[in-house]
Amino acid sequence: MFEWLADNWWALWLTVFLVFAVVEMLTLDLFFIMLGGGALAGLAASLGGADLWLQIVIFSVVSLLMVGFVRPIALKHLRSSPADQRSNIERLIGEPAVVLEQVSSAGGLVKIGGDVWTARLDSGVLEPGQTATVSAIDGATAVVVPRGGTAALDPGAAESGA
């Protein structure tokens, strides 16, 4: 078996790459996939007929370059997202809300984009049918501000909570 491995180093590089890929899937920190890129470079060098010492040098250099230059750029792109790609509750801020049950500083219910949320108002009272704007999300409660005017509300919607 060792004779076969000595003639087929590409298999070892492929195994190393697969191990790094699995570890990356478990950690999700974009470090091991960079080492996996180095392993693929070692695999390419092996298939190109390079000696083992050169394959190891290529693996090391490519891995270091990817960790030093590619990873920071990839992390920066992953951490910054445009406003139109906001996720989860961030998307609700600024959205209109229809009051289903009276909302005051003590609480109430509003409908935001088809979902019913508990809500509160910093000061004042909003009556059923009025509209508000979501200013923040505090846990599972929408903090709303008066918007003015009333919304057309299905009479049964406030009673059924839909």
Render pLDDT for 95-139 as a digit per residue (tens, 0 to 9).
899 999 999 988 899 998 888 999 999 888 999 989 999 988 888
Q: How many CB atoms lie within 10 A of CB 79?
A: 7
Residue 86: pLDDT over 70: no
State percent of the chain over pLDDT 70: 86
Which residues, 6 or more positions from 75, have their beta carbon under 8 angstroms from its beta carbon? 30
pTM: 0.52
Return the C-alpha torsion angle 103, 107, 108, 111, nearest 10.
90
Phi, psi dihedral angles at 145 (to 5 degrees): -125, 150
Distance CA 33, CA 128 (A): 54
Q: What is the pLDDT of residue 161?
A: 43
Q: What is the pLDDT of residue 92?
A: 83
